[in-house]
Structure 1
Amino acid sequence: MNLNCNLDGPKVAVIGAGPGGIVAARWLLRHGCYPTVFEASASLGGQWNGECRTSATWPSLRTNTSREFSRFSDLSHAEEVPLYPRRDDMLQYLDRYCDRFGLHVFMRVSTAVRSICKEGAQWTVTSVTGEGDRRETFDWVVIASGHEARPQVPEVEGLGSFSGGLGVIHSAQYRGADRYRGRSVLVAGCSVSALEIASDLAWNEAREVISCYRRQRYVLPKLAAGIPMEALLMTRAAAFSGERLPLEVMAQTLSGVIDGLAGSPERYGARKSDLDVMRAGITQSQGFLPAVAEGRIAVAPWIESVTDDRVTFADGTSRRVDGIVLGTGFRPDLRMLDPALAQSILADDGGLDLCGATFHPAAPGLACLGLYNLVGPKLPVLELQARWISRVIAGEVGLPSDCEMTVGIAQAKEQRLMGAEPMMNATAISFARRAGLEPDLHQFPKLARALLFGPMVPESFRLQGPDALAEAPARVAALAKDICGLESGTFTPEEVAQLDALGEASLL
C-alpha cells in the first residue's frame, strides 16, 4: 500500500489509466484522497499502449512534442530517450512514473466501467471483469478516458460502398505503412494524425499518397533551428499577450510568426490557408510540407462522393485509390454516464459543455480530465488539471460556483464557434491560476527571462507553495539555456520596454 494513502479521505473513481488517469491518481494521493483507477485494457498507458483497444498509435510513431514537454514535473525521461520519444518510450515512462509513486496497487486493469450514475450524495460505478459485474460507491468520479476514445467518421456519399482492395479505416486503426507499400492511398483530414500518417506513407514507399481536407491549416514543423516549436511559441509572454491584445491583433501577430518559422503552406505546393490563423487553425508535422514540395504527397479539397474505388473531390477531379485512411478526429466517450447527465454535458457540435474543461453544474462530484483537443504539449497540461481537481476534491481550493460554471460553459461554446483550438500555454496558465499554482514572478527575479520568454517546462509550476520542488528553480534555468540558449537573469532594458508596451510590467 502507498504510504501516502489516506483510507479515510475522499474516495475517487478514476476512469482510465492513460496519462490523465495516472497523473490524477498521483495528485489525488498527494492531497489525501483514495483513488481507484479503472482500466478496460490489460495494462496501463492509454494511447501509448499499443495493446489497448482504443489506442490510436502505431509502432513507429514518435511524439510531436519534445522530450521535456512529453513528461510530468516529477520525473524526467531516461537519458537514452531521443528528443522525440517513441511510443514504447512513452509507455515505459508512464510505467516508471507509476512505480515511483506506488500507483499500480490502485489500478484495476481488465476492468471496464459499464455505468456511472449519481445516487444521493455519492456516485455508483458499475464495472465488469471476467468474474462479473461489481457495484461500488464513490465520493467523486474523474473521467480521464481521453479525448481520442471514439473515432469520428464523416458522412460522405458512397463511402460505405468503397471497393478499393485496402478498404476504409480510421486513423485510430492505422498500424503502419507496410500494407500500403506500392499502393495508392487517400488520407482525409488536416490534423496532426492525418498529416503524420500521410508523411509516414509517403516516406515508406506508398506508390501514391493523396491528402484531402476541408481547410488548409498552417503546418508547423517540430523544430526550427534545432529548437522545439513549443519552446518558441508557447511561452508565458505569448499567453499574457493573448490576454491583453485584441483577437485580430493576436491573429496577425501569430500569422507573422508562423510565416517566419514555417512559411505559408501554398509555398510548398499545398493549398492556401485562410489569412486569419485562428480561422484556419494550426497543426504540426515535420515531414508533410517537404513531402508535398517533393511531389511525394498530392493535395486535394474535401471528398464529394465515392463510387466503387473512385473518389471525387469538391473541385470535380477524381482519383482511383486502393485504400482510404480517415484522419477525421475523435470525440470523448461518455456512454458510461447516466444518459440524462451525458446529454447535459455533450454539445451538438461534438464538444463538451464544461467550465474550465472540467466541471458542470448539473454534475456535482464529477470532473472530466483531458477530454479536449490542444495545440501543443498535453502531459504538462494534464498534470495541472489533475492538481486543480485534486485540490478541489481535498477542499484546498473552492469549486467554481454555479454562476461561474455557467459563464465558463458559455465561454467554451463561444471558443468552439470560433473554431479556435486552445493553446497549451494559455490552457496551462488557466488551470494553474484556478488551482493557485502559477508562480508569483516577483519572487523569482533571477528567473524572470526564463519564466516569461523561455520554455514553459513542467517545473515552472513547482516553484512555490506546498508542492514546491527544491530543484525546480535550477531546472527551469538550465532547461531555458539547454533548449533555447536563453540565459537566466533579470530583464534587459529592451525587454522591459516590450513588457511596458503590453502592460506586463505590473505583473512584475
Structure 2
Amino acid sequence: MTADAAVIGAGPGGLVAARWLTSQGFEPTVFERSPVLGGQWAGLSGTSGVWPAMHTNTSRVLTAFSDLEPRGTNVFPSGAEVRDYLYRYARTFGLLSRIRFGSAVEHLDRDGAGWWLSHDGERSRFDRVVVASGRFHTPAIPPVPGLDTFTGTVGTSSTYHYRGAEALRGRRILVAGCAVSALEVAAELAQQGAAAVVLTQRRQRYVLPKFAAGVPSDHRIFTRYGVLATENLPATEVDRQLREIVVEAGGSPEQYGAPAPDPSLFAAGVTLSQQHLPLVAEGRIAIRPWITSVSGPDVTFADGHVEQFDGIVFGTGFDLDLPFLSEEIRALAGVDAVHLDADRYTFHPDLPGLAFMGMWDQSGGYFVPLELQARWIAYTWGGSIPAPDEAHQRRAVELYRTRRGLPQKTRMNLAALGFARAAGVEPCLHDWPELRRALLFGPLAPSQFRLQGPDALPDAPARFARDAAAFGAVTSNEYTARERTYWAALQSAGV
C-alpha cells in the first residue's frame, strides 16, 4: 500500500495534523491503536490518564482549535466534553474515514524509497510520517528504597491509572509529586472520603489557581508579552514578573500552611490547581518532604517522620516512550526517556519526511501549540512556506543537545509562538493597533493565528477580540498600570 502520509495516533495531535495535511493536498492515513479516537481524552483505562471526574486545567478558549468553536459554557470543560469536541472536529474535516482504528504501529523504519510502518501483520510504505502517538503514556516512577516491599492494602499506582476516589475511600493515601495530576488527585481524594491524604514532594512549587478574579489563569500567564519578555529582558526580571502575577492571583504557599517555596519561581516551579492550597489550609491535605524509604506499610520521609499508608499514588511525570521507532531513528534523534533531538521538537535534518508532534513536556494547554505545529509541518511539506534551512536545523539540534540534563519543561506560550513564527502566522503588532493590547496581554487564543499569513480568515479579528474579552481580562485597548510598566520595559529593551 502506498499513500502520501501516515499519522501515528488519533489524539488531538494526530487529528489536527491530519486536518492540516489534508488542506495541503495530502491523503493521510491515521493509525490508532484504540477502538476510538481522542488519545488521552478517550478516557480508556490503560491508554488514557483522564479519569471520569476530571476537568481540564485550561480554559475552553484555549482547549480548542482555530476553525471549530467549542460548545457549552463550562469555563473548564470535562474530559467528556473534550472527547466530544474531538469527534466533532474529526467529522467536520472528514477525518473519520481516514482513521484505522485498532491498528497499532509496531515498527517504523525507512529505506531509500520511503518510510515503512509495520502494523496488523503487514508493512505499508509512506512518503511522509507524522509521529503523534502522545507524550504522556508511560508514568515515570522514581526509585525509592524499599518501594517493592510496600504492603499497604491498596498498593502502589500512578495518577495515570487513577479512575476515581471510590476505591480509596476510608484509606490513608500518600500522593507523591507536585505536578498537576498529583495535586488534582490529592484534592479529589481529600474531598471524597479518603481517611487521610498526605502529599510528598521534593520541593514546594508555587500554586496558581485555575481561576482568579473571574479570569482563567491561563489567560494571564501564557501571553505573547511573556514570550517577548523572555527574549528581551534579563531572566531575573522575567522571574520577578511571573512570580508577581502568580502570587497576586493565589498567594504564596506558606500563607496556607505549606512550606515556603524558593523565592525564584523558575527554581521552584509552578503548578495549576484550584483546590490544593485551600485544602492544605484546612488540614485536609498534609505536606511532607520527599520519601527516603519504604518498609512494609511504613513510609519514612526526609524529615525523619514515619507514617503508615494503605496506598501510594505517584504523580511524578512521564517518560518519553516511542517503542516502535527503529534503532536508526532512535540513534539519529537521540531518543531516550526525556529527550528527542529535533528542530523545535519537530524535524531532524537527517530524517527528511518524518515529523514529531507534541513530544515536548509543557506547562499549559497543548491544543494551541499543537495546531500551530501541525500547520508548520503541513505548510513545509506542502510548499506553502520554504522548507527549514538545513544549517539552521543542525544548529537547533546542537543547541538542544547542549541542554540535556537541564529542566526540559517548556511554557505553552513559548512553544506556541515558536511554531507560529515557523509557520508564518504570528500576527504583527503594528498591523493590528486596535488589537495590540489583546495581542500582548490577552490569551493566546487560536483565533489570533488566523489574522494573517497562510489561511487567514476574514472573521478572525472579531473572533479574537471576543476571545480576549471572554472573561473580562481584555475588553479595551486601555492598558492597566502594570501593563504600561511591563510594556515600557520591553520598549526600553528595543522591542
Give TM-score scaled by structure 2 length.
0.95
Q: 1:116 corresponds to which residue?
A: 108
Superposed CA deviations along residues 311-339 of structure 1, whole A, max 9, x for unmatched, are 11122211100001011111222110102
For residues 94-243 of structure 1, what are the structure 2 equivalents within 5 Å? 94-128=86-120, 133-243=121-231
2-structure distance, mates of 1:332, 1:498: 37
- Aligned-pair distance for 1:362? 3.0
21, 42, 65: which one aligns with 2:58: 65
Q: 1:453 corresponds to which residue?
A: 441
- Aligned-pair distance for 1:405? 2.4
Aligned partner of residue 354 in structure 1, secondary structure? coil
Aligned partner of residue 61 in structure 2, secondary structure? helix
Superposed CA deviations along residues 127-181 of structure 1, whole A, max 9, x for unmatched, are 12xxxx1211111111111110211121111112211100111111100000111
Maintained 8 Å contact 2:205/2:261? yes
Superposed CA deviations along residues 252-302 of structure 1, whole A, max 9, x for unmatched, are 222222222222212212222222211211111111111111101111111
Q: Size of the alignment, in residue pairs?
A: 495
Change (3 A) 1:252 1:494: closer
- Gaps spanning 5+ residues in structure 1: where? 1-6
1-structure distance, mates of 2:89, 2:96: 10
Q: 1:74 corresponds to which residue?
A: 67
- Gaps spanning 5+ residues in structure 2: where? none
- Aligned-pair distance for 1:453? 1.7
Change (3 A) 1:151 1:497: closer
> Which residue identity is paired with 1:194?
A
Q: 1:254 corresponds to which residue?
A: 242
2-structure distance, mates of 1:412, 1:160: 36
Q: 1:35 corresponds to which residue?
A: 28
Maintained 8 Å contact 2:425/2:454? no
2-structure distance, mates of 1:169, 1:489: 49
Aligned partner of residue 140 in structure 1, secondary structure? strand
Superposed CA deviations along residues 53-95 of structure 1, whole A, max 9, x for unmatched, are 320110000000111111111112213x411111111100000
> Which residue identity is paired with 1:326?
F
1-structure distance, mates of 2:262, 2:114: 49
Q: 2:252 corresponds to which residue?
A: 264
> Which residue identity is paired with 1:327?
G
Maintained 8 Å contact 2:45/2:161? no
The range that moved more, 32-41 or 398-407, is 398-407
Change (3 A) 1:362 1:315: farther
Aligned partner of residue 431 in structure 1, secondary structure? helix
325, 328, 347: which one aligns with 1:359: 347
Maintained 8 Å contact 1:455/1:484? no
- Aligned-pair distance for 1:347? 5.2
1-structure distance, mates of 2:213, 2:239: 24
Maintained 8 Å contact 1:454/1:486? yes
Aligned partner of residue 84 in structure 1, secondary structure? coil
Percent identity over the alignment is 45
The range that moved more, 423-432 or 447-456, is 447-456
Maintained 8 Å contact 2:319/2:337? no
> Which residue identity is paired with 1:459?
S
Maintained 8 Å contact 2:320/2:337? no
1:24 pairs with 2:17? yes
2-structure distance, mates of 1:432, 1:121: 32
Maintained 8 Å contact 1:114/1:126? yes
The range that moved more, 444-453 or 286-295, is 444-453
2-structure distance, mates of 1:270, 1:492: 32
Maintained 8 Å contact 1:42/1:52? no
> Which residue identity is paired with 2:68?
L
2-structure distance, mates of 1:218, 1:363: 40
454, 457, 460: which one aligns with 1:472: 460
Change (3 A) 1:329 1:497: closer
- Aligned-pair distance for 1:487? 2.7
Maintained 8 Å contact 1:67/1:85? yes
1-structure distance, mates of 2:478, 2:24: 34
1-structure distance, mates of 2:142, 2:114: 38
1-structure distance, mates of 2:273, 2:397: 32
Change (3 A) 1:346 1:286: farther
- Aligned-pair distance for 1:348? 5.5
1:304 pairs with 2:292? yes
Aligned partner of residue 147 in structure 1, secondary structure? coil
Q: 2:7 corresponds to which residue?
A: 14
Aligned partner of residue 21 in structure 1, secondary structure? helix
Aligned partner of residue 463 in structure 2, secondary structure? helix
Q: 1:93 corresponds to which residue?
A: 85
- Aligned-pair distance for 1:49? 0.6
Q: Give the CA RMSD over aligned residues.
A: 2.2
260, 267, 270: which one aligns with 1:279: 267
> Which residue identity is paired with 1:89?
E
Aligned partner of residue 240 in structure 1, secondary structure? helix
Q: 2:413 corresponds to which residue?
A: 425
Aligned partner of residue 107 in structure 2, secondary structure? strand
Maintained 8 Å contact 1:187/1:211? yes
The range that moved more, 352-361 or 163-172, is 352-361
2-structure distance, mates of 1:286, 1:490: 29
1-structure distance, mates of 2:426, 2:379: 14
> Which residue identity is paired with 1:100?
T
For residues 461-500 of structure 1, what are the structure 2 equivalents within 5 Å? 461-489=449-477, 499-500=487-488
Change (3 A) 1:494 1:151: closer
Q: 1:314 corresponds to which residue?
A: 302
- Aligned-pair distance for 1:420? 5.7
> Which residue identity is paired with 2:31?
F
Q: 2:430 corresponds to which residue?
A: 442
- Aligned-pair distance for 1:342? 1.3
Change (3 A) 1:320 1:383: same
- Aligned-pair distance for 1:357? 1.1
Change (3 A) 1:491 1:249: closer
1-structure distance, mates of 2:105, 2:206: 39
2-structure distance, mates of 1:266, 1:415: 32
Aligned partner of residue 503 in structure 1, secondary structure? helix
